Amino acid sequence: MQNELTLYNTLSRSKEKFTPINSGMAGMYVCGPTVYSDVHLGNCRTFISFDLIYRYLLHLGFKVRYVRNITDAGHLEGDRDEGDDKFTKKAKLEQLEPMEIVQKYTLGFHDVMREFNALPPSIEPTATGHICEQIEMIKEIIANGYAYEKNGTVYFDVEKYNKEFSYGQLTNRKLEELLEGTRELGGQDEKNGRLDFALWIVAKPETLMKWLSPWGWGFPGWHIECSAMSSKYLGDTFDIHGGGMDLQATHHTNEIAQSQACNHKAPVNYWMHTNMLTVNGVRMSKSAGNGFLPGELFTGNHALLEKGYSPMAVRFFMMQTHYRSTLDFSNEALQASEKGYARLMNAIKLLDKLKTADTSTSNIADLKQKCYDAMNDDFNAPVLVANLFEGARIINSVNDSKETITADDLATLKSMMHSFVFDVLGLKSEQSNSGNDTALKGVMEVILDIRKDAKERKDFAASDKLRNDLAKYKITIKDTKDGVTWSIEE
């Protein structure tokens, strides 16, 4: 669509024109959640950012295969490749089977994504469903000489790999620098090198989630699942790999090393990283204990929240910040978004009621182009939103007969507003269902009729009482030139 899509590639640290491997198609892999606890809002931001990217690629007409995994195995608590995996630990805590933990939090994750109106990915593979692929990949890496086995655990040999490839390329660091920042190996460590990481981890007698491998019973290391599943579904080299910025230095660095060591090819053309959500300037994270659960945000049931915010208000809040900038949470900012979102949606509702004229006072084609320019510039949603507000302004002005619009321009404006707001930004109307209730509609008609009579008699005390009483039930009455309207606030 008008001009080309560019995106910021972490590999080159610059914006690049997006050229897919296969014309008209796009393969995208995004690191999904580890389902051992509830997703917090910070996690959601990443997935909502990539939902925007997915939606825009679809809007541009790309045939997109979007793969987002579910990590449901392995993933140790520390960096020492020992102890329980996160699922076993949580299972013991909640007295459930590990797979019950997985099921519980996977369902919770899907519920939250649905609330945020995030499209489901094309494929959502699980680590436990791809143990064979991971074992095969590890075997290949060992065969190629980049990994070694010690007592049932397989380690990736980072220093050997670095002799031929650049291990720190994603974060622009040299191996010597990385080694300096790592602690010395303790006496009990069996790894050869300080930076070596586990591909496969030996099971202990009490380990609950384990599989039989050529190296005995064990479970996969965290990084190998993404390498195995991305190459299975998208090929040895694919277009876009995304994830949160916190995964860049370790997880994605190791993914590149694994895939390169296995397939002798760079796995990804464009690496995209989304920035963190912060609270009072500090990153929201599970370990910092400053995260909210989406449910707490919707209900307002949290010490930091003054009130509840609807999923769409929150989504809109996120869309007003670029995905590579940190987004700082605050009640004030969220309330501003809530109002701005309502303003935008109200304008869209007016689109169907506008009267057309022989001339247009605004350049709609130009505005539409600006929307594309914003999104083509590394998915700049905040600028898109600014342009959509310009659209809202035009709609309101035409509605007030302060400006005019031709039928053709109105059709363009309408399709532009709808496709960008609903399809690309992924917003949806939060109109209460009760508004469609025929009984309620009837009652409102009767009430408004009574009020109309009162107003005609200049009995404003009576008409105001009706309006104020209805307000208690969050029903808003507006007297406009063309008559009375009513709506229910969520």
Partner RNA sequence: GGUCCUGUGGCCGAGCGGUUAGGCAGAGCUCUGCAAAAGCUCCUACAGCGGUUCAAAUCCGCUCGGGACCUCCA
Select the residue interacting with RNA from 325, 401, 415, 431 (CB under 7 A). 325
Looking at residues 31 to 70 of the shown chain, list those that interact with RNA (rule: CB under 7 A): 31-34, 40, 42-43, 45-46
Select the residue interacting with RNA from 144, 320, 361, 419 (CB under 7 A). 320
Q: Does 112 contact RNA by CB under 7 A?
A: no
- Residue type for position 479: D
> Tokens at residue 315, please?
């989504």
Q: Give every CB contact of residue 181 below 8 A, 6+ residues apart in sequence.
A: none
Residue 15 Cα distances to 7, 11, 70, 358, 385, angstroms: 5, 10, 29, 42, 21
Q: Does 6 contact RNA by CB under 7 A?
A: no
Work out how close the CB of 256 gets to RNA at its nearest, in angstroms, rounded to a whole number: 15
- CA dist., res. 423 & res. 429, Å (int): 12
DSSP codes of every residue in 426-467: -------GGGG-HHHHHHHHHHHHHHHHHHHTT-HHHHHHHH
Select the residue interacting with RNA from 212, 282, 304, 446 (CB under 7 A). 282
Q: Does 449 contact RNA by CB under 7 A?
A: no
Residues in the interface with RNA (CB under 7 A) total 90
- In b/e form, how buried is each residue of 111-139, taking b as 16+ CB within 10 angstroms? ebbebbbbeebeebbbbbebbebbbebbb
- Helix or strand (DSSP H, E) at 27: strand 25-30
Q: Does 480 contact RNA by CB under 7 A?
A: yes
* Helix axis angle, 364-376 to 381-399, nearest 10°: 160
Q: Tell me the three state secondary structure of residue 469.
A: helix
Q: Does 385 contact RNA by CB under 7 A?
A: yes
Select the residue interacting with RNA from 203, 322, 368, 405 (CB under 7 A). 322
Of residues 177 and 490, the one with the C-beta less far from RNA:
177
Q: Which stretch binds RNA (CB under 7 A): 98-106, 142-150, 321-329, 355-363?
A: 321-329
Work out how close the CB of 385 gets to RNA at its nearest, in angstroms, rounded to a whole number: 6
Site string for RNA, 255-274 (x = CB under 7 A): -------------------x
Of residues 174 and 428, the one with the C-beta less far from RNA:
174
Select the residue interacting with RNA from 129, 235, 295, 340 (CB under 7 A). 340
> Contact at 8 Å (CB) between 219 and 207?
yes
**How far out from the chain centre does Cα 373 lie?**
22
Of residues 349 and 441, the one with the C-beta less far from RNA:
349
Q: Which stretch binds RNA (CB under 7 A): 176-184, 233-241, 296-304, 413-421?
A: 176-184
Select the residue interacting with RNA from 184, 332, 366, 482 (CB under 7 A). 332
Residue 169 Cα distances to 127, 174, 250, 478, angstroms: 26, 8, 11, 59
Of residues 139 and 384, the one with the C-beta less far from RNA:
384
Work out how close the CB of 438 gets to RNA at its nearest, in angstroms, rounded to a whole number: 25
Q: Does 276 contact RNA by CB under 7 A?
A: yes
- CA dist., res. 70 & res. 225, Å (int): 10
Work out how close the CB of 125 gets to RNA at its nearest, in angstroms, rounded to a whole number: 15
> Contact at 8 Å (CB) between 413 and 360?
no
Site string for RNA, 177-216 (x = CB under 7 A): xx-xxx----------------------------------
Q: Which stretch binds RNA (CB under 7 A): 55-63, 357-365, 399-407, 430-438?
A: 399-407
Q: Does 460 contact RNA by CB under 7 A?
A: yes
Q: Does 284 contact RNA by CB under 7 A?
A: yes
Q: Give every CB contact of residue 251 below 8 A, 6+ residues apart in sequence.
A: 31, 222, 223, 226, 243
Looking at residues 233 to 252 of the shown chain, list those that interact with RNA (rule: CB under 7 A): 243-251
* Neighbouring C-alpha atoms within 13 Å toward the C-beta of 29: 27
Work out how close the CB of 25 gets to RNA at its nearest, in angstroms, rounded to a whole number: 25
- CA dist., res. 18 & res. 20, Å (int): 6
Q: Does 486 contact RNA by CB under 7 A?
A: no
Looking at residues 73 to 102 of the shown chain, list those that interact with RNA (rule: CB under 7 A): 75-79, 86
Looking at residues 152 to 171 of the shown chain, list those that interact with RNA (rule: CB under 7 A): 171
Q: Which stretch binds RNA (CB under 7 A): 102-110, 140-148, 395-403, 407-415?
A: 395-403
Q: Which stretch binds RNA (CB under 7 A): 148-156, 173-181, 204-212, 307-315?
A: 173-181
Work out how close the CB of 46 gets to RNA at its nearest, in angstroms, rounded to a whole number: 4
Select the residue interacting with RNA from 305, 336, 357, 440 (CB under 7 A). 336
- In b/e form, how buried is each residue of 392-411, taking b as 16+ CB within 10 angstroms? bebbbebbeeebbbeeebbe
> Contact at 8 Å (CB) between 410 and 367?
no
Please tell me the chain's helix, strand, coil percentages from 3-state DSSP, rounded to the nearest 5.
45, 15, 35
**In what order do the strands lie in the sheet containing 277-279?**
282-283, 277-279, 327-329
Q: Which stretch binds RNA (CB under 7 A): 151-159, 172-180, 302-310, 438-446?
A: 172-180
